Amino acid sequence: MKKKCPRCSNDEYEVPDFTQQEKRVLSGLKANNKLGELIEKLESLYDIRSIDAKFSLMHINKKYGKCNRCKVDYLEEEYVLCPKCNALNFNWSIDN
């Protein structure tokens, strides 16, 4: 699916339809700041442009509900724009 982040640019990027298992792995890498591994994982799982992989990398949340850019911590939808700073968040719920 195509996603865009008004906070970053007006361009749209391709975001793969990640499985729950992939979301779990990718969120874990993001939470632990293993960004090199995260990029490698994204590029090995999906045949996407590196700019698309980077877009996903930048917008995956470290913690469910918490905005990547600001202090908002009540995000509920999955691919959601922060109501305060307007950044896109991949707000994946990975506890189930």
Positions in the binding site for Zn ion (CB under 5 A):
5, 7-8, 67, 69-70, 72, 82, 84-85, 87
Angle at CA of residue 14, ends 59 and 6, nearest 5°? 50
Between 7 and 41, CB nearer to Zn ion: 7
Between 85 and 94, CB nearer to Zn ion: 85
Closest separation between CB of residue 56 and Zn ion, Å? 11
Between 6 and 20, CB nearer to Zn ion: 6
Closest separation between CB of residue 23 and Zn ion, Å? 18
Q: Report the C-alpha gap between 52 and 48 in whole angstroms.
A: 6
Closest separation between CB of residue 75 and Zn ion, Å? 8
Q: What DSSP string describes 30-94? A: HHTT-HHHHHHHHHHHS---HHHHHHHHHHB-SSTT--SSSS-----SSEEE-TTT--EEE----
Closest separation between CB of residue 81 and Zn ion, Å? 9
